Structures are given as structure tokens and as C-alpha cells.
Amino acid sequence: MHQTHNTLSETIRTQSVAMLNKHLAAAIDLHGQIKQAHWNVRGPGFIAIHQLFDKVAETALDASDLLAERAAALGGTAEGTVQVASAKSYLVPYELGVANEAKHIFAVSATLAAFGQAIRDAASTSTTQGDTTTADLYTEISRGIDLQLWFVESHRVPA
């Protein structure tokens, strides 16, 4: 840990930085998965889905920035390389070659939901560990992810 005047104990900061880096890896993976869908979606609603996935990817990128900056602000090191993200992401790998709109919408929805749940769990854990500021950051990220999930799921054809 780097020296800082942050008044949280080093134990709390160390726990928070480890958790932030875990979710940073997943956020970087999430961004990549959504860009994969963005580049490969096909179908009659192509332009709408293509543009939507770009917005969703932007939200994932913003989340990764927030997570990395909080880790650094706590005196830690943000571990945000593609290599680290690949090794540490907890997200299910995105299936390559998927091109159908419905399949992309389903896959992106599932990944957003999994990431959102993990982020909500992290908010709860951060509160329990005594870092309410990091918990608030996780809550902010979860709001954005939930909003994007709603947008993506709005393109699903009702059963």
C-alpha cells in the first residue's frame, strides 16, 4: 500500500483495494464482452442494438475507471491490464460467433445481471468491512448497470 492520509485503517483499505481490483477485472471483461456484441450483432434492428451496445460498453468503461481510481485513492494499485482482467474476471466468457440479435441481447443481459449482482454484493461487503464510501461507489455503479440492463432487456421479444 502507498502512504496516504486517508483515515481508514490499512486493514480496511487493503480489503477494499483487493475487492475493487476483483471487480475492476470483471468491469474490463464486461466492456470487452459488450464491444464483442456491438461489433458482431446482425439483424433487422441492427443499428438500434449496435448503438445501444456502444452506450452499454461506455457504462462498463466508466465503472472500470471508478473502481480503479478508488483503489488508487485508498493507497492501492489499480490492476487494470487486459492480462490481469483475463486472469481474474469472474464473468462467464462471451461466446464468439454469436450474431443473432436475440442471442446477443440474451448474452449481454445475462452478463450485465451477473456483474450487477456481484457489485451489489460488494456494496454490502464494503459496508460490513467499514468502508461506506466504497460501498457508495458500488451502489452508484449498480444503478448504472441496472439501467443499462433495463435498456438491453427492453429489446427482448416477449415470450
- pLDDT tens readout for residues 25-84: 999 999 999 999 999 999 999 999 999 999 999 999 999 999 999 999 999 999 999 999
The CB-based long-range contact list for 36-41 (8 Å cut-off, 24+ gap) reads 36/94, 36/96, 37/94, 37/98, 37/104, 37/107, 37/108, 40/97, 40/98, 40/99, 40/104, 41/99, 41/101, 41/104
Kindly list the domain boundaries of the chain, sorted by start residue.
10-153
Short-list 34, 126, 26, 159, CA closest to 85: 26
Cβ–Cβ < 8 Å for 24, 8:
no
pLDDT for residue 134 is more than 80:
yes
CA distance 149 to 112: 6
pLDDT attached to residue 159: 72
The amino acid occupying position 152 is V
CA distance 36 to 90: 17
Q: What is the pTM of this model?
A: 0.95
pLDDT classification of 9: cutoffs 50, 70, 90: very high
Q: In Å, how far are 15, 30, 47, 91 from 126, measured between CA atoms?
A: 9, 22, 39, 20
CATH number of the structural domain 10-153 = 1.20.1260.10
